[in-house]
Amino acid sequence: MNIKLTSLFLLLSIAHFGFSQDSELTSELYETYEKYKEEKLDHRRIKHHELQPLIKKHAVNPLFTVKKVGESIEGRDLNLISMGTGKTNVFLWSQMHGDEPTATQAIFDILNFFESDDFKDEKIEILNNLTLHFLPMLNPDGAERYQRRNVLGVDINRDALRLQSPESKTLKRVRDSLNADFGFNLHDQSTYYNAERTDKPATISYLAPAYNYEKEINETRGDAMKIIVYMNNIIQKYAPGQVGRYNDDFEPRAFGDNIQKWGTSTILIESGGYANDVEKQEIRKLNYVSILSAIYTIAEQNYKGIPLAEYEKIPENDRKLFDLKIKNATYGILGTDYIIDLGINRLEVNKEDNNDFWYSSRILDQGDLSTYYGYKTFDAEGYTIKQGKIYPKGFSTLEDLKNIDPLELLKQGYTYIRMAKIPMEMLESPIPMNILGSTYELPEFQLQVGINPTFLLEKNGKPEFAVINGFLLDLTSGKGQFKNAMIYR
């Protein structure tokens, strides 16, 4: 065996040893997660004031150092939580986009983990070799409104050069003061991303950002790639095939690209979608497990032998997922029947306090959607799309709706009811039928991109399925997911 082959074999052996050695730890982290999950953050739309008691709780523990490092435009504190005595600095920041909270929750799960008495040997290894720094919720004003941008209307992740926002200045100042060796840039992405050429959602997506237009790979960026390969192997155990890789085109205004350029090995993590996980709690758990495991491998330096070529094997992100895909449905227009596919998404509309939402669904695409996928795909071969009718009996108040059986009305072909007095604060229909005001004129039914998807699927002239505001309901069994229907005043 020549020297080159011997070296390659050694590198592969080291990488395999690292994965095998940490596999047991990863499994234990996953299995014991509920013990450390921060129960006070039990919903997705968390706010800055909910974090403050948790930060104060950890601040009294001598393990942690909590320091105010800045303020948002509206004066909300930005805090850095640090622990460890190691010479390698690892900096993790979350929610620079206000509506991307998954990793913020995971950070507080991780802090609970370190505050516990468990995993003593692993914690000693981590805290003796690393100093960890967490900056949760960099954009608290955006989080208050559950919006991407800050109050200035700026995307903080495109403010690394101009540094107009105080939040951006804080991030730059903290990174520079730490001279961080590793950085974890923690985000959420659209739930409609999928792993390229598969029907699998990109539950987690990664990127080792480029630091120049040439996309060169130096040691700094190479180490980030190796950590990503390591984390990908972890996620594959719990969400097989559900990992994507972002396009690495250089964006000179972005923080990730610049932090990589400034000498910090930067790992971008994007939390996407997972079936039946609207609140992204399973994805939160995967963040917790994979980030802690990555921190441990940085402390152990097991990542060093991972071949860079493995990074390129991670499928690229694509965006070809719908909440509901209906394929092979028959649709008649002007006396002719056509076969058509529909791609339907359920779009969230914030309620006034931004703590909750309702769905206003839309047809996003129609035609041949054979290269697209759905979280739920229904083969409607043999079914004909038909408009639902308006139930002839009107109702006066919301209380009156308790006396009807929506499923029975849907079976009879009714998808709309009229209500004379719709309260102004009522934003959505609580039953699987759309509510019309007493004078609302229902437009002529025509399938087209942009309309609300409400119709029946008939076979032999009998409704067997209903799509109500983008939710598919089986009229025979009564089964199907449902949150709300629409109101048209």
List, for residues 155-178, the tens digit of each pLDDT value: 999 999 999 999 999 999 999 999
The residue-averaged pLDDT of 406-418 equals: 98
Residue of 8 and 165 predicted with greater confidence: 165
Tokens linked to 452: 């609300």
373-401 pLDDT, tens digit per residue, is 999 999 999 999 999 999 999 999 888 98
Distance CA 376, CA 196 (A): 18
Q: Please, are residues 91 and 180 in contact by the beta-carbon 8 Å criterion?
A: yes
What backbone torsions phi and psi does residue 391 show, to the nearest 5 degrees?
Answer: -65, 130
Cα 276 to its chain centre, rounded Å, is 12
CA distances from 345 to 75, 196, 451 (A): 36, 19, 11
What backbone torsions phi and psi does residue 281 show, to the nearest 5 degrees?
Answer: -80, -30
The three-class DSSP label of residue 173 is helix
- pLDDT of residue 443 exceeding 80: yes
Residue with tokens 């003061």: 177
Residue of 9 and 371 predicted with greater confidence: 371
Residue 390 burial (CB count, 10 A)? 16
The residue-averaged pLDDT of 172-196 equals: 98
Residue 358 burial (CB count, 10 A)? 20
The residue-averaged pLDDT of 134-139 equals: 98
pLDDT-based confidence at residue 21 (cuts at 50, 70, 90): low
Long-range contacts of 6-13 (CB under 8 A, 24+ apart): 10/305, 11/305, 11/307, 12/305, 12/307, 13/305
The three-class DSSP label of residue 257 is helix
pLDDT value at residue 1: 44
Residue 199 burial (CB count, 10 A)? 15
Tokens linked to 477: 């069994």
Residue 307 burial (CB count, 10 A)? 14
pLDDT value at residue 364: 98
- pLDDT of residue 369 exceeding 50: yes
Torsion of CA 125, 302, 231, 223, to 10 degrees: 110
pLDDT value at residue 6: 38
pLDDT value at residue 255: 98
CA distances from 346 to 322, 349, 433, 473 (A): 9, 10, 16, 15
Distance CA 234, CA 231 (A): 5
Distance CA 188, CA 318 (A): 15
CA distances from 89 to 57, 104, 129, 264, 394 (A): 24, 19, 9, 9, 66
Alpha helices in 32-85 (DSSP H): 48-59
Q: Please, are residues 73 and 147 in contact by the beta-carbon 8 Å criterion?
A: no
Residue 335 burial (CB count, 10 A)? 5
pLDDT value at residue 19: 52
Helix axes 48-59, 102-115, angle to 10 degrees: 20
pTM for the full model? 0.93
By C-alpha distance, which of 378, 394, 395 is closest to 466? 378
Q: Pairing state of beta strands 414-418 and 389-390?
A: parallel
Distance CA 299, CA 128 (A): 8
The three-class DSSP label of residue 154 is coil
By C-alpha distance, which of 215, 134, 240 is closest to 180? 134
Q: Please, are residues 330 and 338 in contact by the beta-carbon 8 Å criterion?
A: yes
- pLDDT of residue 131 exceeding 70: yes
The three-class DSSP label of residue 417 is strand
H or E stretch covering 221 = helix 219-238
Tokens linked to 379: 């083969």
Sign of CA dihedral 17, 22, 23, 24: positive
pLDDT value at residue 11: 42
- pLDDT of residue 347 exceeding 80: yes
Residue spans per domain, the chain: 3-317, 321-488
Distance CA 322, CA 326 (A): 10
The three-class DSSP label of residue 121 is helix
By C-alpha distance, which of 275, 100, 272 is closest to 195? 272
- pLDDT of residue 488 exceeding 70: yes
Assigned CATH topology for domain 3-317: Aminopeptidase (3.40.630)
